[in-house]
Amino acid sequence: MHPDGELETLMVRYQQGDFAAATALIQRLSPQLHRFFAVQFVSRPSADDLLQETWLRLHEVRHTYRPGEPVLPWLYAIARHIRVDHYRKAGRTSAREQSLDETPEMPAPRAAPAATLTMQEMLAPLPESQREVIELLKISGMSLEEVARATSSTVGSVKQKAFRAYEKLRERLGQMGGAS
Amino acid sequence: MKDGELDDILKRAAAAQPGPDPALLDKIAASIQPNMRPVRPLPSARKLHIALPAACLAIATMVAARLGLHGLAAMSGLQFLVIPLVPILIGRAAAAWVNETIPGSRRREPPLALLAIACAALLALFAALFHDPLADGFVHQGVVCLVAGLATAVPVALTGWWLLRRGFAVSPTGAAIAAGTLAGLAGVAMLELHCPNFQTWHVLVWHTAVVPVSAAIAVLLAKLVQIRRAHVDAR
């Protein structure tokens, strides 16, 4: 978890052309961005590609970050756009050809204690929008307001998705015998 | 299971997730290094929230003044309420367009809801203020007003696009709906100042129609741009 102020300072320095600040941001934020793509069942090479594409786009539009505003909603709003674009392109490609490389890695259900499940396995039963909210809210540690900004929705809608997601997760983990 | 336990399980699973290869992060940093130059951040949202509706209203007023302020001259009593109420909707639509072009902005309502609110508000306003039941030359006069409103929307949309040209719309369709709604409302503002035909059905149908038609045209243009970009990317 990064203090927001520190990220904002780095972002402002990045806008001023400071390469060290850009590198620091890449090092700090890439793991969570990578996870953001990975929980949506893209393959690891695709998550790497998406991460790279996201940073290139962030670099192109870094002037759209406004100093004083939180960095994470800005960053994730752009990352979501890249992900949606990726789905669109993948959809077009698969409409033309049967690509084995793009087959998403859907985790096979397995009987295991909840504590040993991977992120993908944990979030598998959730719809995409709920998975995204859980990832941003509970794992990236963003506030409701920040998630609402990142996902272009309202705080009420984010709350509702998180509540429903937790209901489903609780139900699933309960069936598996809880966190053993 | 309590929320806290669920949080812990999720965090443990996230921590166990393999991160990106450090070599990939070095590669990303190296790829942006040649283009490291200072950039000027966008103006504050507040400035844009003021500049955009001001420009729209100025254009609508100038076009109406050029064509003649016959509508304003014919207004009486409560009908003058149109003058402050349409700009309120313009301000709201302008704020929505600005927010759609700045990633991570707060969104008050989805652009489609904004369009619906704008149309409903205009219908309610016109129904409350205009009570002439006649419908002379309904289609002919209506089409003239629709075209004039849309013609006013064009410079408004171009001005808005110029003001927000440095922005980045994460949802091009949402931005197009907001842009079209704003431009259409500017067209309505012009019609209210210019058009002296206060027949209820004329105002309700043809003046209000400028807004959804303008939004539809904006969405169509955005889709065409997206398709063209996709073709360029595919090459």
pLDDT one-digit tens code per residue, B120-166: 999 999 999 998 888 888 999 999 999 999 999 999 999 999 999 99
Same-domain check for residues B195 and B82: yes
pLDDT recorded at residue A85: 84
Same-domain check for residues A153 and A121: yes
Share of chain A above pLDDT 90, in %: 47
Q: Where are the alpha helices (DSSP H) in chain B?
A: 3-16, 22-32, 45-67, 70-74, 82-101, 111-129, 138-163, 172-194, 200-201, 208-234
Same-domain check for residues A76 and A7: yes
Same-domain check for residues B191 and B79: yes
Going by pLDDT thresholds of 50, 70 and 90, the confidence category of residue A110 is low
Going by pLDDT thresholds of 50, 70 and 90, the confidence category of residue A158 is very high
Same-domain check for residues A165 and A152: yes
Same-domain check for residues A7 and A89: yes
Same-domain check for residues B21 and B126: no
Option in B3, B32, B168 nearest A22 (CB): B32
Residue range B11-17: average pLDDT? 81
Which residues on chain A are in Cβ contact (under 8 Å) with B36?
Answer: 17-19, 22
Same-domain check for residues A98 and A46: yes
> What's the CATH number where A143 sits?
1.10.10.10
DSSP B199: B
Q: Is the pLDDT of residue A30 over 50?
A: yes
Cβ B20 vs Cβ A30: under 8 Å: yes
* Pairwise pLDDT comparison (A69 vs A108), residue with the higher score: A69
Of A128, A102, A107, A127, the closest CA to residue A47 belongs to: A102
Which residue, A105, A139, A162, sits at the end of a domain?
A105
Write out the residue range of the structural domain in which residue B181 sits.
45-234
Sequence-separated (6 or more) residues with CB below 8 Å from residue B69:
B193, B194
Q: Is the pLDDT of residue A103 over 50?
A: no
Residues 151-210 in B contacting A (C-alpha not used; CB under 8 Å): 166-168, 170-171, 174
Q: Is the pLDDT of residue A128 over 90?
A: no
Write out the residue range of the structural domain in which residue A143 sits.
107-180
CA distance B146 to A62: 40
Same-domain check for residues A87 and A43: yes
Same-domain check for residues B74 and B133: yes
Q: Is the pLDDT of residue A96 over 70?
A: no
Going by pLDDT thresholds of 50, 70 and 90, the confidence category of residue B224 is very high
Of B149, B169, B171, B152, the closest CA to residue B161 belongs to: B169
Same-domain check for residues A31 and A88: yes
How many domains, in total, are found in chain A? 2
- Which phi and psi angles does B199 have, rounded to 5°? -65, 130
Which residues on chain B are in Cβ contact (under 8 Å) with A110?
Answer: none
Same-domain check for residues B14 and B65: no
The pLDDT mean for chain A works out to 83
Q: Assess if residue B40 is contained within a domain.
A: no
Query: Residue B169 class from Cβ within 10 Å (0-12 exposed, 13-18 middle, 19+ buried)?
Result: buried
Same-domain check for residues A83 and A32: yes
* Whole-number Cα distances in Å, A161 to A70, A154, A157, A171, B3: 22, 11, 6, 15, 15
Distance, in angstroms, between B158 CA and closest chain A CA? 20
Which residues on chain B are in Cβ contact (under 8 Å) with A53?
Answer: none
Distance, in angstroms, between A160 CA and closest chain B CA? 15
Same-domain check for residues A91 and A123: no
pLDDT recorded at residue B18: 82
B4 in A contact zone (CB under 8 Å): no
Same-domain check for residues A112 and A99: no
Same-domain check for residues A162 and A176: yes
Residue-wise pLDDT for A41-61, tens only, equals 677 888 899 999 999 999 999
Share of chain B above pLDDT 70, in %: 100
Q: ∠ at Cα B3 (A72, A114), nearest 5°?
A: 95
Cβ A76 vs Cβ A133: under 8 Å: no
How many domains, in total, are found in chain B? 2
B141's torsion region: left (phi>0), alpha (psi -120 to 50) or beta?
alpha
ipTM above 0.90, yes or no: no
Going by pLDDT thresholds of 50, 70 and 90, the confidence category of residue A125 is confident
Q: Assess if residue B136 is contained within a domain.
A: yes
pLDDT recorded at residue B127: 94
Same-domain check for residues B10 and B54: no
Query: Residue B195 class from Cβ within 10 Å (0-12 exposed, 13-18 middle, 19+ buried)?
Result: buried
Which residues on chain B are in Cβ contact (under 8 Å) with A134?
Answer: 10
Same-domain check for residues B7 and B58: no
Distance, in angstroms, between B94 CA and closest chain A CA? 17
pLDDT recorded at residue A26: 96
pLDDT recorded at residue A120: 77
> What's the CATH number where A73 sits?
1.10.1740.10
* Pairwise pLDDT comparison (B33 vs A5), residue with the higher score: B33
Q: Assess if residue B172 is contained within a domain.
A: yes
Same-domain check for residues A86 and A137: no
Distance, in angstroms, between B107 CA and closest chain A CA? 6
pLDDT recorded at residue B226: 87
Which residue, A105, A140, A167, sits at the end of a domain?
A105
Which residues on chain A are in Cβ contact (under 8 Å) with B31?
Answer: 52, 55-56
pLDDT recorded at residue A107: 53
